[in-house]
Amino acid sequence: MTLAHLLDSAGLTGRGGAAFPTGTKVAAAVAGAADLVVNACDGEIGAAKDGWVVAHHLAELVEGASLVSARRPARYAAHRGSATAAALLAAGLPVLEAPPRYVSSEESALISLAHGGLARPMTKRRPFVRGGAGSDGRRIRPTVVLNAETVWRVSQVARFGADWFRAQGTPADPGPRLVTLNTPTARGVVVETQAGVPLSHLLHLVGGLSPEVPAVVVGGLGGSFVRTADLPGLRWSSADLAQVGASMGPGVIEIPHPDDCPLQLVDRLLTYAAGESAGQCGPCMFGLPALAADWRALGEADPAAYARVRGRAGLLPGRGACRFPDGIARFTASALDAFADHIGEHRAGRCPTHDRRSARVHAR
């Protein structure tokens, strides 16, 4: 049985966010003698599991890369100056150092960087695993990019078998998987878990959820807000999360501070996103700053801002070289839904979070 068939039997999917069948990518890589880039950038906000794999399972990661690349040298991508890059360099591995920016770890951005270009997303005319041309016309060798956790799981499937892998998780989401948990007091807590566990169990591992927190962020900037009211009974699985407009994505969960106004939280994140544009496509260059400005106006009780935010979020998807604006649009739309009551209070000139903080201060 080939490695690709073994991975198909195991049901391994990418752990970087898209959940694409790994066996399919490996089969295409083998057919095209593609170069391998292992993405260990932890590019999503709050992500830490790539670095965790490098720190705790480097030998198995290298073994998985060797299996995928048919013993040819692989390159390991990490953000320049990060602890992950330092660990990879100390191990004598070839490191592709990407700028510490959000879009620089996107698949096609890493492929561009690996071919001497800038770490900016490229328009994908066909899968780069088959080769092609960059945005500036330069030749791109067949190249496949796999997330670090995915490559580690490849080595596990090869070592322990497909049945071992499928014995964990759910039939639709088999296998063990990592999740990064973030709270106001604990950042980058990486836990080993599997699909099907109650989401409340994962939150309990970092102290649980304050009843004053209206929603948690699942999936980072490309993810969604999940309301606290929807959490009881919700499991960490594709099917359950889809019911509330979310997905497991890159495996990142963020618990906001209970004293953080939700609209100000989203304001900060959208402002950050607007500053992370690669500067080459209209939706990022102009759409994201405009969206951030409209959201700020929403928090300042601009009566027309809600319609502008909703409309702009609907216009962004599908119009850039990468899917960064798509993710931000999804994130924004979920915030509108999750914080509908809070938005209504702001439009009336009140902030429940501010009022709660003030009441607590006056009660002392």
- The CATH number covering residue 220 comes to 3.10.20.600
* Greater model confidence, 167 or 299: 167
Q: Classify residue 19: in a domain, yes or no.
A: yes
- The CATH number covering residue 127 comes to 3.40.50.11540
pLDDT digits (tens, 9 = 90+) for 148-197: 999 999 999 999 999 999 999 999 999 999 999 999 999 999 999 999 99
Give, for 78, the enclosing helix (H) or strand (E): strand 75-79
224 lies in the same domain as 187: yes
pLDDT digits (tens, 9 = 90+) for 239-289: 999 999 999 999 999 999 999 999 999 999 999 999 988 778 778 888 899
Last residue of some domain: 141, 163, 185?
163
20 lies in the same domain as 157: yes
Q: Classify residue 237: in a domain, yes or no.
A: yes
Last residue of some domain: 228, 254, 280?
254
Listed residue (272, 230, 263) closest to 336, CA to CA: 263
113 lies in the same domain as 25: yes
pLDDT digits (tens, 9 = 90+) for 111-150: 999 999 999 999 877 888 898 887 777 899 999 999 999 9
For residue 362, what pLDDT is reported?
Answer: 55
- The CATH number covering residue 314 comes to 1.20.1440.230
Q: What are phi and psi of 183, to 5 degrees?
A: -130, 175
Query: Hey, is 60 helix, strand or coil?
Result: helix
- The H-assigned helical ranges of the chain are 3-10, 22-31, 49-56, 58-68, 83-90, 107-114, 148-160, 162-166, 199-204, 238-242, 262-275, 282, 288-299, 305-315, 324-338, 340-347, 352-362
Q: Classify residue 154: in a domain, yes or no.
A: yes
138 lies in the same domain as 125: yes
Alpha-carbon span 318 to 124, nearest angstrom: 12
Q: What percent of the chain has pLDDT over 70?
A: 98
- Residue 358 exposure: Cα atoms within 13 Å on the Cβ side: 7
Q: Which residues contact 4 (CB under 8 A, 6 or more apart)?
A: 23, 24, 26, 27, 30
Asked if residue 361 has pLDDT above 60, the reply is no
pLDDT digits (tens, 9 = 90+) for 139-154: 999 999 999 999 999 9
157 lies in the same domain as 175: no
237 lies in the same domain as 271: no
133 lies in the same domain as 64: yes
What's the predicted TM-score (pTM) here?
0.94
176 lies in the same domain as 276: no
Q: Classify residue 285: in a domain, yes or no.
A: yes
* Mean pLDDT in residue range 213-220: 96
139 lies in the same domain as 203: no
Last residue of some domain: 254, 283, 310?
254
Domain that includes residue 29, residue range: 3-163
For residue 359, what pLDDT is reported?
Answer: 58
244 lies in the same domain as 114: no
